[in-house]
Amino acid sequence: MTTSVRRISVVAPDQASLAALRRQPPHITVGHALASGPYMLLLPLPPGWDVLSWETVSPELLLQSDLPHGTPLYPPAYASAAPPAPDLTKRPDAPPADAPPRERAAPEQPVYRHPQPAELHEDQATVLAYGRDIAQVASLLRARLSVLVVAEKPVVTHLWREMASRAGLRAEVLEEPPENEDDAPQEEPPDDPLIPVQQNPRQRLLARLRELVRGLNDDTVLVVQHLDLLAGGADGQLSPEAREVTELLHGAPERVMLAFAAPSLSVPEVLAERFSTRVTITGVPRTVWFRDDQEEQPLGRALVAVGEAERFDRYDPVEFYKHVAGMNPVLLRQAMRYAMSVHKDHPAPVARDLYSTIRAFKAQMSSNFEVPDVGFDDIAGYDEVKAHIQRAIDIVMGHHRLPPQYDHLRTKLIPRGFIFHGPPGTGKTLFAKAIANRMNATILVVSGPEVMGTYVGESERNVREIFSEARRNAPSVVVFDEFDSIASRRSEHSDGGTRAGNAVVAQILTEMDGFRPEVPTLVIGTTNRLNLIDEALLRPSRFESIAIDLPNDEARLKMINLHAAKFGIDVGGGVDELVASALRGRNGDDIHSVFRDAFVAAHFQDPPVAPTPEQLGQIVGRLQRKRREQRRSGRR
């Protein structure tokens, strides 16, 4: 027989009151515990609960300063049907508590309403976005469990302060050493002149860590903001600093510790095992949670100020999410400030302008990702391929509109990536850029051989960093050109090159399986030799292969008219059909080169040559002769 958990949310005015309530004896009644200090409740106390023993309820202990403005609070003595108590977080210009009844606002229902903020700072945005994660870590710390948090560097400062505060623990922070030796505290010179006085920053940091570990007690938590920088690396190659940090932290197993590491940097497993649990915090959630069993708000309303939302016509807070899903809250707020600055003098910006500006901002923040300028309208023909790709894009960008009862299907519906295969010059990379443009995403084109490193583990690290950066820039598209060079079939041979290739394929599989549906990231591989790709990557749940062959007669004619219009060359009167017939069996790159050469002859040659049908015929003839010569030389 199971009993339902009795939950109450208690609000205290300060940390001292919070600590006093936490020390209440278990046998005391709920009524006496709540009457022992200036406590309020988020929801009315149900009838009869005041006589229950304190150990039979599960209290959520909150600080009044953590509650957003407008949260209704209730005195513990109120019955469930009583009106809410005066709001202790009211602004100074609110009506006084002793105002006549006719001057007071009508009683509110006990439902939390979060108005769109008038102003939002980076620390507030981080606390709002990661409310669930902060609450989880705080509960673990209260249970005296050490936690390793994997999160991006910009949010670490905001996270540890809130986590330690909600846990009711005093934070002892391992601070970075001063940059200049002159700023460091001066020590008395030793009696022995042979003992060195100067210490480098890492040594001073380790010395400070030893002091903090020795001074920890039951009411404190040790916060290490940059565990990865202090003791990062692999288990087999521990640095002296990593060994000392591992020994120090494992030497105090009963002390509570909160450490942080970046997703792109590794922490030795022997050191990570010191922490009872690990929590990964990446991107931003689709909705922002405020309190259990109460209202959630779309990210585009909770983390976007009202003035920012009103600035862009047709702004949709639900649609906003898919354009910022991979950003952390700090970067999101910086992107919004950038967008407001760019469009401050624009007469009537719309939501599409906002999304394009955010995409440009993300591309500027990354040295590798760029904003694509190729659309599907720039690719003639291939209507079936376009329709197939468009269906996949609709799923990637529209899955958030699914009703909640289908949440469990999101990961099964969203394609992980495509492999475009076909002869050279058929526009496989152009299709990838057009996909990124349609998704309003950034794009990174990586040549496959560039991924392979010289040293052991370097190739896998390159793959991890590529995928990590792609998630930060989501929505994003990663293109691996010459995919067969890094994703070829795994072999059982024991030579070093084969082992490195097998490790890269395994790392790609790991990254693909770790995709989150709420972070739109698409991976595309292009290859001329599909038969070399490892079979595990060709599964429908990972990569879907799409053939992009040489253009047929209809597609070739469309390409000719497209390039002719781009270069300002007249192909009317049946000239386009003649050129199309002459170029049968040629790829899109060959067709582009014909009109490019005609344009150069008309504008850069001395004397200029007009792009007449005869001139186009001569260019096509030269192309055909060149291809025949290449084939003959290849036979030799």
- How is 358-375 classified by DSSP, letter by letter? HHHHHHHH-SS-B-----
Given a cut of 70, is residue 272 above it in pLDDT?
Answer: yes
Which of 69-78, 138-147, 338-347, 478-487 bottoms out in mean pLDDT, i.e. has the lowest?
69-78
pLDDT of residue 70: 60
pLDDT in tens, 19-54: 788 878 777 888 888 888 778 888 878 777 877 888
pLDDT of residue 3: 46
DSSP lists the bridge partners of residue 510 as none
Choose between 310 and 200: higher pLDDT: 310
Which of 299-313, 439-453, 505-519 bottoms out in mean pLDDT, i.e. has the lowest?
505-519
Choose between 125 and 508: higher pLDDT: 125
pLDDT of residue 106: 37
Written as six digits, the tokens of 297 are: 């708000």
Please choose, from the candidates 258, 289, 512, 542, the residue with its C-alpha nearest in 3D space to the C-alpha of residue 415: 542
DSSP lists the bridge partners of residue 524 as 418, 479
Average of per-residue pLDDT values in the chain: 79
Which of 218-227, 366-375, 570-579 bottoms out in mean pLDDT, i.e. has the lowest?
366-375
Q: How confident is the model at residue 498 (pLDDT cuts 50, 70, 90)?
A: low
Percent of the chain at pLDDT above 90? 11
Which of 43-52, 169-178, 233-242, 487-496 bottoms out in mean pLDDT, i.e. has the lowest?
487-496
pLDDT in tens, 215-256: 888 889 999 999 988 887 665 677 888 888 999 999 888 999
Choose between 180 and 154: higher pLDDT: 154
Whether the Cβ atoms of residue 75 and residue 50 lie closer than 8 Å to each other: no
pLDDT in tens, 383-433: 888 888 888 888 777 766 667 677 666 666 767 788 899 888 888 888 888
Q: How confident is the model at residue 257 (pLDDT cuts 50, 70, 90)?
A: very high
pLDDT of residue 79: 34
Q: What are phi and psi of 367, to 5 degrees?
A: -80, -10
pTM equals 0.61
Given a cut of 80, is residue 118 above it in pLDDT?
Answer: no
Whether the Cβ atoms of residue 55 and residue 26 lie closer than 8 Å to each other: yes
pLDDT of residue 627: 76
Which of 93-107, 291-305, 324-338, 595-609 bottoms out in mean pLDDT, i.e. has the lowest?
93-107
Given a cut of 70, is residue 99 above it in pLDDT?
Answer: no
Written as six digits, the tokens of 1 are: 């027989």
Which of 90-94, 136-140, 592-596 bottoms out in mean pLDDT, i.e. has the lowest?
90-94
CA distance 482 to 526: 6
pLDDT of residue 516: 66
Q: What is the mean pLDDT of residues 252-261?
A: 92
Q: What is the largest CA-CA distance in the chain?
A: 103
Omega into 185 within 30° of 0, i.e. cis? no
pLDDT of residue 47: 73
Please choose, from the candidates 445, 534, 454, the residue with its C-alpha nearest in 3D space to the C-alpha of residue 487: 534
Given a cut of 80, is residue 59 above it in pLDDT?
Answer: yes
Which of 91-95, 311-315, 357-361 bottoms out in mean pLDDT, i.e. has the lowest?
91-95
pLDDT of residue 109: 34
* Angle, helices 588-603/613-635, rounded to nearest 10 degrees: 130
CA distance 432 to 444: 10
Given a cut of 80, is residue 116 above it in pLDDT?
Answer: no
CA distance 231 to 268: 8
pLDDT of residue 107: 37
Choose between 69 and 214: higher pLDDT: 214
Choose between 106 and 143: higher pLDDT: 143
Given a cut of 70, is residue 186 above it in pLDDT?
Answer: no
Q: What is the mean pLDDT of residues 111-117?
A: 50
Q: How confident is the model at residue 530 (pLDDT cuts 50, 70, 90)?
A: confident
Reduced to 3 states (helix: H, G, I; strand: E, B; else coil), residue 62 is strand
| Residue 597 Cα distances to 345, 424, 425, 558, 603, angstroms | 43, 20, 17, 19, 10
pLDDT of residue 342: 92
pLDDT of residue 407: 67
CA distance 577 to 560: 9
Given a cut of 90, is residue 482 above it in pLDDT?
Answer: no
Q: What is the mean pLDDT of residues 166-176?
A: 87
DSSP state for residue 332 in the 8-state scheme: H
Write out the H or E segment, with its range, that includes residue 503.
helix 496-513
Given a cut of 60, is residue 296 above it in pLDDT?
Answer: yes
